Amino acid sequence: MPSKRDAERAARPSTPVELGLRANWQQFSLLVLINAFVGAMVGLERTVLPLLAEQEFGLASTTAALSFLVSFGLVKAATNFFAGRLGDLYGRKPILILGWCVGIPVPLMIMWAPSWSWVVAANVLLGINQGLAWSTTVIMKIDLAGPKQRGLAMGLNEFAGYAAVALSALGTGYIAGAYGLRPEPFYLGLGFVALGLALSVAFVKETRGHAALEAESAHGGAGSDSALASTAPDSPPPNTREIFSLVSWRHPALSSASHAGLVNNMNDGLAWGLFPLFFAASGLGITSIGVLTFVYPFTWGIVQLATGAWSDKVGRKWLIAGGMLTQAMALAVLAMTDGFGPWVGASMLLGVGTAMVYPTLLAVIADVAHPSWRGSAVGVYRLWRDSGYAVGALLAGVLADLYGMRAAIMAVAVLTGLSGLDVARRMPETLQRGDGG
């Protein structure tokens, strides 16, 4: 029977590969650009879709209006898991291309939707697109970066994705203000899909060889972790069930990251689905709502450039705990204030808190999971994290219908603060002394 080391050698390409951002800057930059197009697909919806639910389809219930986000979150969460596992088994590039192919009908379905069920169905496809394409670009960048620059790599990745989310939300807000809620804002989506698919097919190169090189060089952070002894040389990697249990509850760092990720994306689901309705109910116009939906993800995207690299220097745990508490404070401020100016400030603070958390959680997974099953671990983490979209939409919708939107926002603020305290109590530091800076 071939050993694990033999399998890793077989995965390596015939041409030599090197680890690190400098050695792989061309492919890394290309993947950053592609991830911007992935993020822009989500940004298409953040300003327009909640308003479309109320104004064109007449959905009076907040829970019903957020149903598109429930379908998106559940499907994306499940697809993340399969994307990671399939990428480990069959390669990253084919999964990336498949993700773009699934995304082709999304803008067309929303533009032509005769009923709200079409929009929900389009978000099922969008969830598959995001789960396959975004997960794969994350895994490929971790492959290329190697162990010393994981935080920086994830900061750059998430910067590109969420800056594009913000710019796309801003652009669709202005287009909707000038021409209407559809079809014009969704023409942008056709261009995003075409460019993302073309670049992925023509120029992206497979990166499994880089993961194999890291595993062979014994740089995987999990190799010395007694909780993950199955990653010792020549031992078989854990199976799917074992990886799922490690990331979900058995390993304190991996499971803490998964739980914090779920709450973090519960916040993002709140911002995506409920905030536009909250701002509109307060009398703001579509253009102003577009600006507010831009501020939060744009701040998040920009600040990640610093926080991802910072976590490579100072560690992961306290950035994550502090970021969750910062998000809780921002949500509380937003719930307790009125007016465009205070809400801009609260949105910026929410973006800063999210930037402290988002790339750092991914770096935790990369620190701990062995390169031979890292893609699968990222997939399980992202399954839990993106379940937060569905949880946030359901919780916010039900609470808003029962007690009002401010109460829903405040409830999520409390849950976020409790999550930050749980990270401070339970998560160990995962950055090894030799890995930093």
pLDDT in tens, 184-220: 999 999 999 999 999 999 999 999 988 888 887 754 4
Q: What was the pLDDT predicted at 338?
A: 95
What is the structure's pLDDT at 7? 44
Instruction: Return the structure tokens found at 257.
Output: 């990251």
The pLDDT score that the predictor gives to residue 15 is 63
State residue 227's pLDDT score.
Answer: 43
- pLDDT at position 2 over 60: no
Give the confidence band of 221 by pLDDT, cuts at 50, 70, 90.
Answer: very low
What CATH number does the domain located at 20-221+236-426 have? Answer: 1.20.1250.20
Give 373's pLDDT tier (boundaries 50, 70, 90). Answer: confident
pLDDT surpassing 50 at residue 222: no
pLDDT of residue 230: 40
Residue found under tokens 């697809």: 79
Question: How far lies 139's CA from each of 133, 267, 349, in Å?
Answer: 10, 24, 28
> Which pLDDT band, with edges at 50, 70 and 90, does 14 fall under?
low
424: how many CB neighbours lie within 10 A of its CB?
16
Cα R_g (the chain), whole angstroms? 21
State residue 219's pLDDT score: 43
Query: Do residues 389 and 265 touch, judged by C-beta distance below 8 A?
Result: yes
Q: What is the pLDDT of residue 433?
A: 55
| Residue whose entry in the numeric block shows the structure tokens 């701040």 | 299
At 88, the pLDDT band (50, 70, 90 cuts) reads: confident
pLDDT of residue 234: 54
- Six token digits for residue 360: 């750092």
DSSP state of 427: P
The amino acid present at 105, given as its one-letter code, is: P
With a cut of 50, say whether residue 413 has pLDDT above it.
yes
Contact 206, 319 (CB under 8 A): no
pLDDT in tens, 138-153: 999 989 988 878 888 8
Query: Which amino acid belongs to residue 433?
Result: R
User: What is the residue extent of each domain of the chain?
Assistant: 20-221+236-426
Alpha carbon distances (Å) from 392 to 86, 304, 347: 28, 23, 17
Mean pLDDT over 110-135 rounds to: 95
3-state secondary structure 284-314: CCHHHHHHHHHHHHHHHHHHHHHHHHHHHHH
Mean pLDDT of all residues in 375-390: 90
Mean pLDDT, rounded, for 393-421? 95
Closest CA to 393 of 281, 292, 286, 267: 267
pLDDT mean across residues, the chain: 89
- What pLDDT does 235 receive? 61
* pTM, to two decimals: 0.83
In the chain, the N- to C-terminal Cα span, in Å, equals 39
Q: Which of 196-205, 221-230, 270-279 has the highest mean pLDDT?
A: 196-205
**Residue 226 reports pLDDT greater than 70:** no
Contact 119, 110 (CB under 8 A): yes
Amino acid at 226: S
3-state secondary structure of 200: helix
Query: Cis peptide leading into 183, omega within 30 of 0?
Result: yes
Q: Is the pLDDT of residue 4 over 50?
A: no
For range 42-51, the mean pLDDT = 91
Of 45-54, 368-377, 393-402, minimum mean pLDDT range:
368-377
Please tell me the least confidently modeled range out of 32-41, 77-86, 120-129, 254-263.
77-86
Counting Cα atoms < 13 Å in the Cβ hemisphere of 321 gives 14
Tell whether the model's pLDDT for residue 404 goes beyond 80. Answer: yes
For the stretch 100-110, pLDDT in tens is 999 999 999 99
Residue 118 has pLDDT above 60, yes or no: yes
For residue 177, the model assigns a pLDDT of 92
Q: Looking at this protein, which amino acid is placed at residue 263?
A: V
Here the tokens at position 322 are 């502090």
Residue 177 exposed, middle or buried by CB count within 10 Å (0-12, 13-18, 19+) = middle
Q: How far is CA 199 from CA 44, 106, 140, 290, in A?
A: 20, 19, 15, 29
- Rounded to the nearest 5 degrees, what angle is found at the Cα of 361, between the Cα atoms of 46 and 317? 130
Kindly report the number of other CB atoms within 10 A of residue 12's CB atom. Answer: 17
Range in 161-165, 301-305, 354-358 with the lowest mean pLDDT? 301-305
Task: Tell me whether residue 32 is exposed, middle or buried, using C-beta atoms within 10 angstroms of its C-beta: 0 to 12, 13 to 18, 19 or more.
Answer: middle
Nearest residue to 319 (alpha-carbon basis) of 327, 309, 311, 329: 311
Task: Single out the residue of 325, 307, 329 nearest to residue 316, CA to CA.
Answer: 307
- From 105-109, 154-158, 371-375, 379-383, the region with the lowest mean pLDDT: 371-375
Percent of the chain with pLDDT over 70: 91
Q: Higher-confidence residue: 370 or 316?
A: 316
Q: What pLDDT does 434 receive?
A: 53
Coil/strand/helix, residue 60: coil
